[in-house]
Amino acid sequence: MKKFKRALVVGKFCPLHRGHQLLLDHAQDGSEELLIVSYTKPEFPGIEPARREQWLRALYPQANVVVLDDARLAALCAARGIAARTLPHNDLDDGDTHRHFMGWLCWTVLALPVDAVFSSEDYGPGFADVLAEFYASSPVAHVSVDQARMQVPVSGTAVRGDPHAHSAFLSPVVYASLVTRICVLGGESSGKTTLTAALAAHLDTSWVAEYGRELWESQDGVLAYGDLLKIGREQLKREAAAAGQARRWLFCDTSPMTTYFYCIEMFGKAEAELAQLAEHRYDLVLLCAPDFPFIQDGTRRDEDFRARQHAWYQQELARRGIAYVDVTGSVEQRIEQVATLLARE
């Protein structure tokens, strides 16, 4: 039997790092049930509640995960017929405000009283005492885990400052979502694949090849209607897998938007799921200009088709409200243009 029935761990998890995981692992190992609560006010850019919830659910699928902002808390209270409160601000340093908020949340809103609090902070014992007040005669224990940060010498502040320099302290699940994903688009014979590979080599990171081309070649140049949805799905699957191995940036040769274009072009229709996949967003989109002579490699259409495809990208990106960067010139000029842009991040 586990020592505790239900353990509580509270944190910002902005982002979730291996120090947090050490704490969560201890709590999970020492209790029959783990309750994880995450909130921060204000929020940190790029580490929104949905992303934190995704990390926690992926790494602790058996835990009861509650990630809050004011809107989520209001919805939770409304569903239970409870008068809503707002989250306490991070700057409140009296301690009691956050402790009493958590007591109210666990007991009144969630109806999940705990018998242990696991923390790596000096406020832990006082936190347990306040929770015990909410539970009347039921004691709440405090378990301290690596408070001196000897086992995992890192802080959330340091990781937020430069998650890429501290990637060793991040689970691949977490780091993959913090990698900047860059999609390279372009018509046939616009240098798209050459640029994608060259950028990855120049910046010492990974890139994802065009799966549609791979499938087309393996099937002797024949694609059926059903293959296009398969291509869209597999392209995103490969991007997700590659992100965990990338360094800071992941360059993606094409996107499901391209697959959608070819599906309409070849068959005059597309599955609703493929149209949805074509909405997939990237952190940055590069559009290769058709500003050099068309090169026929035996698989491409012609220069007029290239121009029409380029115009379609321009129109579709604008229609979908997706900002993009035109890249022009030689491969070397394009690399310099993109590298300069990324250096400003």
Provide the domain count of the chain.
2
Give the domain CATH number at 34.
3.40.50.620
159 and 185 housed in the same domain:
no
Mean pLDDT computed over 288-295: 76
Query: What average pLDDT does the segment 301-321 reach?
Result: 89
198 and 293 co-located in one domain? yes
Termini Cα distance of the chain: 50
Are 132 and 271 within one domain?
no
**Does residue 123 sit in the same domain as residue 269?**
no
Q: Is residue 174 part of a domain?
A: no
- Please give the C-alpha separations between residue 265 and each of 258, 270, 305, 308, in angstroms, as whole numbers: 10, 10, 11, 11
Question: Do both 13 and 104 map to the same domain?
Answer: yes
Q: Mark whether 155 and 186 lie in a shared domain.
A: no
Structure tokens at 341: 């842009």
157 within domain boundaries: yes
- Give the CA count within 13 Å in the CB-facing half-sphere of 172: 7
Q: Is residue 337 part of a domain?
A: yes
pLDDT tens sequence across 172-231: 999 999 999 999 999 887 889 999 999 999 999 999 999 999 999 999 989 999 999 999
> Percent of the chain beyond pLDDT 70?
96
For 218-253, the pLDDT digits (tens) are 999 899 999 999 999 999 999 999 998 899 999 999
- Which residues, listed in sequence order, are joined to residue 10 by a DSSP beta bridge? 37
Closest CA to 117 of 34, 55, 41: 34
Q: 303-319 and 256-267 are packed helices; what angle lies between their axes, rounded to 10 degrees?
A: 120
Let me know if residue 107 belongs to a domain. Answer: yes
- Residues 64/46, Cβ–Cβ less than 8 Å: no
Whole-structure pTM value: 0.85
Domain assignment present for residue 17? The answer is: yes
Domain boundary among 146, 169, 192: 169
Copy the structure tokens of residue 100.
Answer: 């009493």
Do 11 and 147 fall into the same domain? yes
> In terms of domains, do 232 and 113 share one?
no
Distances (CA, A) of 67 to 36, 39, 50, 76, 291: 8, 6, 8, 11, 49
Buried b (16+ CB within 10 A) or exposed e, 239-267: beebbbebebbbbbbbbbbbbbbbbbeee
Are residue 194 and residue 127 in the same domain, yes or no?
A: no
Domain endpoint, select from 169, 192, 212: 169
248 within domain boundaries: yes
Q: How far apart are CA 47 and CA 311, in angstroms?
A: 35
Give me the CATH number covering residue 240: 3.40.50.300
Per-residue model confidence (pLDDT) at position 302: 61
For residue 216, what are the CA distances in angstroms to 63, 189, 222, 233, 258?
A: 43, 17, 6, 15, 14
pLDDT of residue 242: 95
Instruction: Check residue 96 and report its DSSP letter.
Output: H
Please check whether residue 232 lies inside any domain of the structure.
yes
SS3 content of the chain, % helix, strand, coil (to 5): 45, 15, 40
Q: What is the pLDDT of residue 24?
A: 98
**245 and 330, same domain (yes or no):** yes
How far lies 124's CA from each of 32, 94, 102, 140, in Å? 20, 14, 13, 11
Q: Do 189 and 114 sit in the same domain of this protein? A: no
Average pLDDT (40-45) is: 95
- pLDDT-based confidence at residue 299 (cuts at 50, 70, 90): low
Pair (90, 214) in one structural domain: no
Q: Residue 222: which domain range?
A: 179-343
Checking if the pLDDT of 94 tops 80, the result is no
Angle between helices 124-134 and 96-104 (to 10 degrees): 40
Say which residues have a Cβ less than 8 Å from residue 252's Cβ, sequence separation at least 6. Answer: 181, 182, 183, 184, 196, 207, 208, 235, 239, 282
Question: Which of 169, 194, 217 is the endpoint of a domain?
Answer: 169
Q: Is residue 275 part of a domain?
A: yes
Which token pair is 8? 């509580």
Work out the average pLDDT over 64-92.
Answer: 95
